[in-house]
Amino acid sequence: MSIDFRIEATSKQARAGRLSTPHGEIETPVFMPVGTAATVKSVPQDVLEELGVQILLGNTYHLYLRPGIETVRNLGGLHTFMAWPRAILTDSGGFQVFSLNELRKVSEDGVTFRSHLDGSSHFFSPESAMQAQIGLGADIIMAFDECTEYPADRARTQASMEMTLRWAARSKKYFEEHKQEVPWKQYSVPSTQCQEKDEATPETASTGNSVLGTGYSTQSLFGIVQGGMDLALRKESAERTIEIGFPGYAIGGLSVGEPRERTREVIEATLEHLPKDKPRYVMGVGTPEEIADYASLGVDMMDCVLPTRAARHGLLFTSEGKVSIKQARYTNDAGPLDPNCGCRVCRRYSRAYLRHLYASNEVLAQVLNTLHNLSFYLDTMRRVRHSIRLGEESRFLSGLWSQPKP
Ligand SMILES: [Zn+2]
């Protein structure tokens, strides 16, 4: 076993549950902050723990280029390398190389691409993407897929979906044959949560210094449903990905330029065809309103660069709508960024100070803005989980924002 997923409460389509991984438990539905290059930009790991982050996402493409998979593997894997004892998910690199556009060439074997760092040529296949993700050692890893561009006609979308299905089978085959190569057992990560549970797990007790405190000993590989914006192809992709068989399923190929209503429609239609007892992950979404909405549809996991990237551009999400802190109107504003937010930034600093930091291009601006946005996203999901457990699914949209939405 590598993960265990339990649904503990439902409210209409929404579910609240618990996902147990080799590096701790995750309350779902969960928002996963993106730590592209083994760091959630500008936030130290101990602060992420204090914020209540239970799982974060790393990008295989970036880590493969720098510092390199073997470097991370030799240092004990991503958890040890970045001193993060809790759960990690890595993507396969498929979406990143898809984003390179002119710099890539796709064939049945895989994708040849040029590094955005130095222009050097590289090749990712389902097998090498699995090898890389096993070397990084995240708790949950993703099948190598082709993200279909938008817009695409039906023939192109279908051909792309078929390729992703063949790549999913190759990903699973390689993973099953090599999953014992995960570099976890050589090193230990300080974590009282893990150590407390060690006695109860003979499998890990015998390895002495294992980090595998919860008794789950290998990574988990999730499949990815593609099919573009075509609902019939999404259904077929879901059914045939399930036939291959994975412990969790992602809906990929969204947020590629389509209208937001279409994103929601595809998510809602695809969820119908995914197993109810397995975690469902929508990749690369969304705003606070959207993640709450998708959770209400029955999505368990989401990730997005939006809260961290927007923060670095001075765009902050609050209970009163979006705030662009760079605006001159905040120069003399002594009030907190968000009077309804209990995060360390809103408790301590004024809008005027945050505006000053941003206008002065101070490093602290990025730190504080990111801290608030992440807190806001995590609080949003906390409220969503709470509402599902109370059976108040409809309230997390109407009650979450006290003011009209931006
Ligand atoms: Zn705040």
- The tens place of each residue's pLDDT in the chain, 406 residues long, gives 689 999 999 999 999 999 999 999 999 999 999 999 999 999 999 999 999 999 999 999 999 999 999 999 999 999 999 999 999 999 999 888 888 877 889 999 999 999 999 999 999 999 999 999 999 999 999 999 999 999 999 999 999 999 999 999 999 999 999 999 999 974 444 444 444 444 434 333 333 334 444 455 899 999 999 999 999 999 999 999 999 999 999 999 999 999 999 999 999 999 999 999 999 999 999 999 999 999 999 999 999 999 999 999 999 999 999 999 999 999 999 999 999 999 999 999 999 999 999 999 999 999 999 999 999 999 999 999 999 999 875 555 544 544 444 4
Q: How far is the centre of ligand 1, averaged over its atoms, from the C-alpha of 260 (Å)?
A: 26
User: In the sheet where 24-28 sits, what is the strand order?
Assistant: 4-11, 14-21, 24-28
For position 273, what pLDDT does the model report? 98
Q: How far is the centre of ligand 1, averaged over its atoms, from the C-alpha of 366 (Å)?
A: 14
* Cα separation, 20 vs 29, whole angstroms: 13
Q: How far is the centre of ligand 1, averaged over its atoms, from the C-alpha of 221 (Å)?
A: 35
Q: How far is the centre of ligand 1, averaged over its atoms, from the C-alpha of 308 (Å)?
A: 13
Residues classed as catalytic: 91, 303
Q: How far is the centre of ligand 1, averaged over its atoms, from the C-alpha of 383 (Å)?
A: 15
Q: Identify the CA nearest to 106 among candidates 168, 163, 177, 40.
A: 163
Q: Residue 224 forms beta bridges with which residues? A: 250
Q: How far is the centre of ligand 1, averaged over its atoms, from the C-alpha of 351 (Å)?
A: 11
Dihedral sign of CA atoms 38, 42, 43, 44 in order? positive
For position 100, what pLDDT does the model report? 84
Q: How far is the centre of ligand 1, averaged over its atoms, from the C-alpha of 284 (Å)?
A: 23
Burial 327-360 (b: 16+ CB within 10 A, else e): eeebeebeebbbeebebebbeebbbebbbbbbbe
**3-class state of residue 108 by DSSP:** coil
* Cα separation, 137 vs 273, whole angstroms: 30
Please tell me the chain's helix, strand, coil percentages from 3-state DSSP, rounded to the nearest 5. 45, 20, 40
